[in-house]
Chains A and B, each alone.
Chain A
């Protein structure tokens, strides 16, 4: 017996709609759950005061510093490397065996679990190179971790720059590098910024790799050789060890707001980029 296509149509659309609504509800629930419990704790003093008794009382100021400094450090290293890789892949070579290997390597790097990055960073940066648990070790580990994201998004942005732009530049006598510098990169910039924002989001939220490499010191670092604690690590420790659920929720709320902000910024730049192109 064949069911009337009208009924299957109706059934399918109902199922699809409810699945989508369910998915959105989960997201809304997660964000509201944290914000509802965390926002009352949040305040200027929570953000600017030093924690007391391992974070049981007081604010989260040092972790705020850690959360800013680690991603910035990581991005300072990963951004130039990532962009030049993508320029090389998109502008300087045709599809060869080498580009295939580079692309495969990038994809694999993107899929490696953070705990493996953590083990690697611990053995390589902390122990072998003797950097100890420090901003240096943590930043370098995070840099390797976000490198593939930057390569991927930058390459896509560069490829999206219309070929006619390059041809005009060449016909005016510009060299390849001049064309890349003056024409391609400025036009690809919004896409590249999106990649950077996504990477900042990922490094802000990372815990496993950070604990193993940057340590978890609650003091304000005075050099890149000092250990630091990010908000994500602080939240993990507060919540897991039951030190203070209030401060844990407050930290999580700060973290979520920061991550939402970075993502909205990324989405906004990408949006403007798409609007400009069409």
Chain B
């Protein structure tokens, strides 16, 4: 588990625009962060059962899309998972709705269970290139990372400090695809939102700290 970290912000457009839709049915669109999308979908469902004449639509798109669409009015609520909000978000009201942790994950076939922060940094920097250097099998390490601009990636880099991702790291554009890539390749290592860990991958301890919900809140 990687310390506790990053913030899921929700941006409310000052003076919410409501687009009328058909006969008196109010419609609200949420757009943005893919990390937050599953939770937003569930919240929307609950909200709609309580308020049957409100229609809530949840869109993905990413944090930047969330901010842009809230600014432009394409969505009434933008979702972003970022540690710090960019310039564009100045005109919006933001509310922190959730906190999340980032876990380092490998394939369950991998023997390595524990890494130090320095080892993680060196793996993602490209200084450590073989699993045997950190106590695993003699196989090359495949590093999997998020794309530039991703909230998860910038949080990850902020926490690790002094990291320049190695050039040949595989890049995937969502938590789910990181999980799939790591699950499919026994030699790979990646990082993702702690809420999305499942049985296909293994989260490893960082400096002997395990990744649990309690640790994130603490």
Contact = CB atoms under 8 A, between A and B. Distances in A.
Direct contact of A and B (CB under 8 A): yes
Interface of A: 53-54, 126-127, 130, 132-133, 215-219, 222-223, 225-227, 240-243
Nearest to A215: B59
Contact of B176 (A53, A215, A218, A242): A242
A214 to B, nearest CB: 10
A195 B38 CA distance: 40
A54 B41 contact: yes
Interface stretch (B80-88, B100-108, B136-144, B177-185): B177-185
A223 B23 CA distance: 11
A240 B72 CA distance: 29
Contacts of A219: 57
Interface of B: prevailing SS? mixed
Contacts of B200: 242
Given A130-B73, A223-B21, A241-B177, 20 more contacts: A54-B37, A54-B41, A130-B74, A132-B74, A215-B31, A215-B59, A216-B60, A217-B58, A219-B57, A222-B21, A222-B25, A225-B21, A226-B21, A226-B57, A227-B29, A227-B59, A240-B180, A241-B174, A241-B179, A242-B183
22 contacts: A53-B38, A54-B38, A54-B41, A126-B74, A127-B72, A127-B74, A132-B75, A215-B31, A215-B57, A215-B59, A222-B55, A223-B21, A227-B57, A227-B59, A241-B174, A241-B175, A241-B176, A241-B177, A241-B179, A242-B176, A242-B177, A242-B183
Contacts of B25: 222
Contacts of A216: 59-60
Nearest to A127: B72
A217 B57 contact: yes
- The residue in B22, B75, B176, B200 that gathers the most chain A C-beta atoms within 10 A of its C-beta is B176
Contacts of B180: 240-242
Contacts of A222: 21-22, 25, 55
A4 B200 CA distance: 60
Contacts of A227: 29, 57, 59
B179 A242 contact: yes
Contacts of B183: 242
B177 A240 contact: yes
Contacts of B179: 241-242
Contacts of A127: 68, 72, 74
Contact of A240 (B37, B73, B74, B174): B174
A111 B4 CA distance: 48
Contacts of B57: 215, 217, 219, 226-227
A222 B22 CA distance: 9
A130 to B, nearest CB: 7
Contacts of A243: 176
A40 to B, nearest CB: 21
Contacts of B31: 133, 215
Q: Give the 10 A-B CB pairs with smallest separation, nearest first.
A: A241-B176, A242-B180, A215-B59, A132-B74, A217-B57, A240-B177, A242-B176, A242-B179, A216-B60, A133-B59
